[in-house]
Amino acid sequence: MQSEFACDVRAGLSKPQKELHSKYLYDDLGSALFDAITLLPEYGLTRADERLLIRYAPAIPREFSCVAELGSGSGRKTRPVLEALRGPRYFPIDVSCAALDRCQHELAGAAEIVPIEASYLDGLTHVAAHRNGDPLLVLFLGSTVGNFEPRCRTEFLAQVRSRMRTGDALLVGFDLLKPVEMLLAAYDDPAGVTAAFNLNLLGRVNRELDGNFDLRAFCHEARFDPNGHRIEMHLNSRCDQTVKIRRADFSCTLREGETIWTESSHKFAEDEIPPMARAAGFECETQWIDREWPFCESLWRAS
């Protein structure tokens, strides 16, 4: 029997535009590399997210005694929210066990922490079963919501809503449209950290599925699609090559210049957000915006 990862790799690399799903970027090494990305001067997104949370966490209604976070990562930016809510029960949900360990360490004392190693929706199903009667605030910080294709995004948000009750809230981050040069630098930094993060996906295929990708035979590429309002991340093949992935029982060829698409990061306009909330069963209550690095923290109420 092949793992889900093996099946997804096989299916993705069989498409005309080859692809590897971005959720596989975050193994333990990938999560550590992403933490390094958040420190890059060119990647202003996480700092904007943090500034907004520090500034506006005190404005979050106090009623939430239960908090769940989709993709907690190291948990650093969550502290002001937990402090404003005066030590709620906190369920960080992450697929990386190492990230959950760091998160527990980082937030010790700020909340009663119940880590959940699971995908977002499975984790939230678990929270729904263990929250008792407490009002729930779900955090979906950073800009992960921008990594979904538009159709999947609404479906995903509706799935999140279906695990919540009327009156619960979702605090979700949106990276806003900004000058293209800023975006390209953020997703293709000169120190090569983002390149390493992207290439690690091939390394992970090698490690977990006994693949023989030569990481040096690919280069990281970030492009802006002005029609789709999104940054696309690719791994570009430097030569004609054949790759074998034993545990997926699969091999494929790449031509020089052919790419494997690994992720898209959509950038939003402010006024796109409230209709998105409504389409998923929420009402947008408040938007907090950082002007230095245009970014929006949006608070939605489950209606």
How far apart, in whole angstroms, are the C-alpha atoms of residue 23 and residue 36? 18
Query: Could you say whether residue 237 binds ligand TRP (CB under 6 A)?
Result: no
**Closer by beta carbon to ligand TRP, 31 or else 143:** 143
Query: Could you say whether residue 294 binds ligand TRP (CB under 6 A)?
Result: no
**Closer by beta carbon to ligand TRP, 197 or else 288:** 197
Span interacting with ligand TRP, options 56-64, 94-102, 107-115, 259-267, rule CB under 6 A: 259-267
- Tell me if residue 208 falls in helix, strand or coil: helix
Longest dimension (CA), the chain: 59
Structure tokens at 2: 């092949």
**Closer by beta carbon to ligand TRP, 115 or else 142:** 142
Query: Could you say whether residue 233 binds ligand TRP (CB under 6 A)?
Result: yes
Residues within window 175-194 making contact with ligand TRP, judged by CB under 6 A: 187, 194
DSSP 211-272: B---GGGEEEEEEEETTTTEEEEEEEESS-EEEEEGGGTEEEEE-TT-EEEEEEEE-B-GGG
Contact pick of 200, 259, 265, 298 for ligand TRP (by CB under 6 A)? 265
Least distance to ligand TRP from the beta carbon of 195, Å?
9
DSSP E strand stretches across the chain:
18-19, 66-70, 89-94, 112-113, 116-117, 136-140, 169-175, 218-225, 230-237, 241-245, 250-254, 259-266, 282-290, 295-302
Least distance to ligand TRP from the beta carbon of 186, Å?
7
β pairing state of 259-266 and 230-237 = antiparallel
Whether the Cβ atoms of residue 230 and residue 221 lie closer than 8 Å to each other: no
Nearest C-alpha neighbor of 82 from the set 92, 94, 67: 67
β pairing state of 259-266 and 250-254 = unpaired
Least distance to ligand TRP from the beta carbon of 153, Å?
13
Residues 6+ apart with CB under 8 A from 38: 45, 46, 47
- Tell me if residue 133 falls in helix, strand or coil: coil
Query: Could you say whether residue 27 binds ligand TRP (CB under 6 A)?
Result: no
Residues within window 47-106 making contact with ligand TRP, judged by CB under 6 A: none
Query: Could you say whether residue 120 binds ligand TRP (CB under 6 A)?
Result: no
Query: Could you say whether residue 31 binds ligand TRP (CB under 6 A)?
Result: no
How far apart, in whole angstroms, are the C-alpha atoms of residue 96 and residue 208? 15
Least distance to ligand TRP from the beta carbon of 157, Å?
16
Contact pick of 88, 92, 142, 173 for ligand TRP (by CB under 6 A)? 142
Query: Could you say whether residue 205 binds ligand TRP (CB under 6 A)?
Result: no
Query: Could you say whether residue 45 binds ligand TRP (CB under 6 A)?
Result: yes
Query: Could you say whether residue 198 binds ligand TRP (CB under 6 A)?
Result: yes
Whether the Cβ atoms of residue 138 and residue 171 lie closer than 8 Å to each other: yes
Whether the Cβ atoms of residue 2 and residue 249 lie closer than 8 Å to each other: yes
Least distance to ligand TRP from the beta carbon of 76, Å?
15
Query: Could you say whether residue 168 binds ligand TRP (CB under 6 A)?
Result: no
**Closer by beta carbon to ligand TRP, 137 or else 199:** 199
Query: Could you say whether residue 13 binds ligand TRP (CB under 6 A)?
Result: no
Q: Which residues bind ligand TRP (CB under 6 A)?
A: 25, 37, 45, 142-144, 146-147, 187, 194, 197-198, 233, 262-263, 265
